[in-house]
Amino acid sequence: MTQETVAPTSDAVLDREEMISRDELEALQLTRLQHTVAYAYDRVPLYKRKFDEHGVHPTDLRELSDLGKFPFTTKEDLRLEYPFGMFAVPQHEVARIHASSGTTGRATVVGYTKKDLADWAKLVARSLRASGVRPGMKVHNAYGYGLFTGGMGAHAGAEALGCTVIPISGGQTERQITLIQDFKPDAILATPTYLLTIADAMMKQGIDPASTSLKFAVLGAEPWTEEMRHELEVMMNIKACDIYGLSEVMGPGVAGEAVETQDGSHIWEDHFRPEIIDAFDPTVVLGDGEPGELVFTSLTKEALPIIRYRTKDLTRLLPGTARPAHRRMGRITGRSDDMIILRGVNLFPSQIEEIALRIPELSPHFQLELTRPEGQRMDQLTVKIERRESVTIEGVASAAKVLQQQIKIHVGSSCTVDVVEPGSLERSNGKLRRIYDMRPKA
């Protein structure tokens, strides 16, 4: 872990790498990239095989743009090498294993050396600090503990920052509320939809969510919108910032958002080199500002170096602001494999969230149902959304109509809107499932 620090302008002490110039950062990236590519080639048979088949060699990487000559790595590669085939160190050097459950197929398994764990903790600490969390604060960690990287990743980062960690994990919402009231944490770490579940449950108990001790929330692990940020910030009287990551690349803390600008997460580019590619034609590497699929190459990882990993997350790269050398990522609009294609129109749940939350009568609790009625060839989308408690039945009918029209105008899809009673849809315990695909399987 870096011990070298510089005095910042605000009350936080930043890592030196957060403040270096873009030129210095790119020089560091090139050295680390050259090392990583050679290291992966020498130690992981899959990389050797793929590079050889692709006709590239680590010595071909002379400048940063040469990375585009190297083949991609996909989730499928990790699955085929299940469980430990991607590890670049002997098992006794692997200090910890995490895995994603994987809704389809085998789990993807990831490993960390002691140094990887220290780097990960440093980057989560950096992200939390950027989002307003400070040493000495009490942090309520509601990310799930276990094989999922959220719980333990966030935990180690908060500890490394010097916080008092409350490791509650996800679920047991009543208990979460009791502990928030009794322990008086300053910050909460959770998925945005789980924080919404907590706030909702507080209101049911007659507790005003704006009255708690919480001042900061660091939210991620699923797509969320500016409208959801506004909803949570107002309801809970907090500052809510984004944290991004994925297990194949590390876990939470690949990127984190600064509370003073709240303009998207800064990718910690001293440890990860991002690229944006055309999701439909991956040979095309896109420029900054252009939307496409995010790809990552790790620069310092020992146990699981990852070269040009296709995340399937759709976003774009933006210039750094609060940390000028580190580029930001725009909000993730969705995952390419979560995209609904409805009669030729592409649609993401986040678009519905954005539209629905601008309609005062509608709550952020919604789900999308896809059906194909018998005898019909056309798919149908039904948006099931809860009304707000305060709204009358008459108010609901016009709100449903507005939502339907706005979806038609902004997304281009016709749909049915079904406004349901408050509390009738499933609540989040972590990553919320928004799409229910009930179409007959082909």
State both tokens at 421. 């009673």
Chain residues 118-177 in contact with ligand DLL, contact rule CB under 6 A: 143, 148-150
Task: Tell me how far, at minimum, the Cβ of 219 lies from ligand DLL, in Å.
Answer: 7
Task: Tell me how far, at minimum, the Cβ of 254 lies from ligand DLL, in Å.
Answer: 8
Task: Tell me how far, at minimum, the Cβ of 419 lies from ligand DLL, in Å.
Answer: 27
- Cα separation of 229 and 243, whole Å? 13
Pick between residue 228 and residue 400 the one whose CB is nearest to ligand DLL.
228
269 and 326 Cβ atoms separated by less than 8 Å: yes
Q: Please count the CA atoms within 13 angstroms of the CA of 332 that sit on its side-chain side.
A: 26
- Cα separation of 423 and 247, whole Å? 32
Chain residues 323-362 in contact with ligand DLL, contact rule CB under 6 A: 332, 335
Pick between residue 28 and residue 339 the one whose CB is nearest to ligand DLL.
339
Report the amino acid identity of residue 17: E
Task: Tell me how far, at minimum, the Cβ of 226 lies from ligand DLL, in Å.
Answer: 12
Decide: is 292 part of the binding site for ligand DLL (CB under 6 A). no
Task: Tell me how far, at minimum, the Cβ of 178 lies from ligand DLL, in Å.
Answer: 23
- Cα separation of 269 and 219, whole Å? 20
Decide: is 209 part of the binding site for ligand DLL (CB under 6 A). no
205 and 177 Cβ atoms separated by less than 8 Å: yes
Please choose, out of 2-10, 36-44, 162-170, 241-249, the segment that lies near ligand DLL by the rule CB under 6 A: 241-249
Task: Tell me how far, at minimum, the Cβ of 429 lies from ligand DLL, in Å.
Answer: 14
Q: End-to-end CA distance of the chain, in Å?
A: 51
For residue 185, cis peptide bond before it (omega within 30 degrees of 0): no
Please choose, out of 19-27, 160-168, 239-247, 396-404, the segment that lies near ligand DLL by the rule CB under 6 A: 239-247
134 and 239 Cβ atoms separated by less than 8 Å: no
Report the residue from 223, 256, 292, 305 that binds ligand DLL according to the rule CB under 6 A: 223
71 and 50 Cβ atoms separated by less than 8 Å: yes
Give the per-residue contact string, 251-280, with ligand DLL (x = CB under 6 A; - = no). Answer: xx----------------------------
Task: Tell me how far, at minimum, the Cβ of 208 lies from ligand DLL, in Å.
Answer: 27
Q: Give strand ranges (E) for 193-325.
A: 216-220, 239-246, 251-257, 265-267, 272-277, 285-286, 292-298, 309-315, 317-318
Report the amino acid identity of residue 381: L
- Cα separation of 396 and 197, whole Å? 22
Report the residue from 221, 299, 307, 347 that binds ligand DLL according to the rule CB under 6 A: 221
Chain residues 74-113 in contact with ligand DLL, contact rule CB under 6 A: 100
Residues that bind ligand DLL (CB under 6 A): 100, 143, 148-150, 220-223, 242-247, 251-252, 311, 313, 332, 335
